[in-house]
Amino acid sequence: MIKIFDDQSAPSSDLLEIAAQISISDALLISSPEYNWSIPGGLKNLLDWLSVLPQNPILNKPTLIMGASSGRLGTARMQPHLRSVLTHFKADLVSHPEVAISNTSEVFDPSGDLIDPEIENLLKQAMAELIKLVPAS
């Protein structure tokens, strides 16, 4: 469990485990909804905690932002906010294509499976761009 951020407390073991997993990953994909036109509180809280660690786990990490919403703008208002926060971490952000899926009831079937071939292609393009940013091992 990640407690509400305060800069006077020590990071929890859960937070340190998340940071360790991010650190050893080749890339980071953040798929998030949009709440009140911005970053959901839980995600922002996690990022606030990560920002005070001695080692930045997102530094130069290839990172893709995406999201989906039932509205007509998808997550187009949240993503610039998240991009700004991740710039603070010096993440290596995929700049194009942006993946802000709108009208989810038309894109996913009732069981949650993707049924829109255009969105499928968009996701493939975005993942290809993310993979390009991953250094060869």
Alpha helix (H) residue ranges in the chain: 13-24, 41-50, 78-88, 104-107, 117-133
The matching CATH number, chosen from 3.90.1300.10, 3.40.50.360, 3.40.50.300, 3.90.480.20, for 13-133 is: 3.40.50.360
β-bridge partners, 124: none
Q: What is the pLDDT of residues 78-95, one digit of tens each?
A: 999 999 999 999 999 999
d(CA 13, CA 47): 15
Alpha carbons 132 and 119: distance in angstroms, whole number: 20
Q: What is the pTM of this model?
A: 0.94
Query: Which has the closest alpha carbon to 61: 136, 134, 137, 12?
Result: 134
Mean pLDDT within 92-117: 96
Amino acid at 14: D
Q: Is 49 exposed, middle or buried (0-12, 13-18, 19+ CB in 10 A)?
A: buried
φ/ψ of 10, rounded to 5, equals -80, 145
Q: What is the DSSP letter of 104?
A: H
What is the domain partition of the chain in residue ranges? 13-133
pLDDT recorded at residue 136: 87
pLDDT at 137 over 80: no
pLDDT in tens, 19-77: 999 999 999 999 999 999 999 999 999 999 999 999 999 999 999 999 999 988 989 99
Is residue 37 helix, strand or coil?
Answer: coil
Per-residue pLDDT, 1: 86
Q: Would you state the pLDDT for residue 51? A: 96
